[in-house]
Amino acid sequence: MYLNLFLGSAFFAAVLSTAIVVVLGLQLWHGVVLCWLIASAMMLGRVAWLAAEGRLEFGRP
């Protein structure tokens, strides 16, 4: 009986820790994607601003 209880609790702990790791991984991934989207929007906004001012020159570093 104690062995079944131990194996059950170990299995439950393994499932719970796996679920926590998966959820934290998804949260981290969403954070990375969100930061990337914000950075891309800021970069495109800057490019659009320079193009509107006529200071954007292609072909020059």
pLDDT tens, position by position, 11-35? 888 888 888 888 888 888 888 888 8
Extents of the domains making up the chain? 19-52
Asked whether residue 60 carries a pLDDT value surpassing 70, the answer given is no
pLDDT tens, position by position, 1-12? 666 767 777 788
End-to-end Cα distance, the chain: 74
CA distance linking residue 15 with residue 17, whole number of Å: 6
59 band by pLDDT with thresholds 50, 70 and 90: low
- 19: tokens are 């679920």
Q: What is the DSSP string of the chain?
A: -HHHHHHHHHHHHHHHHHHHHHHHHHHHHHHHHHHHHHHHHHHHHHHHHHHHHT---TT--
Looking at residue 29, what is its pLDDT? Answer: 83
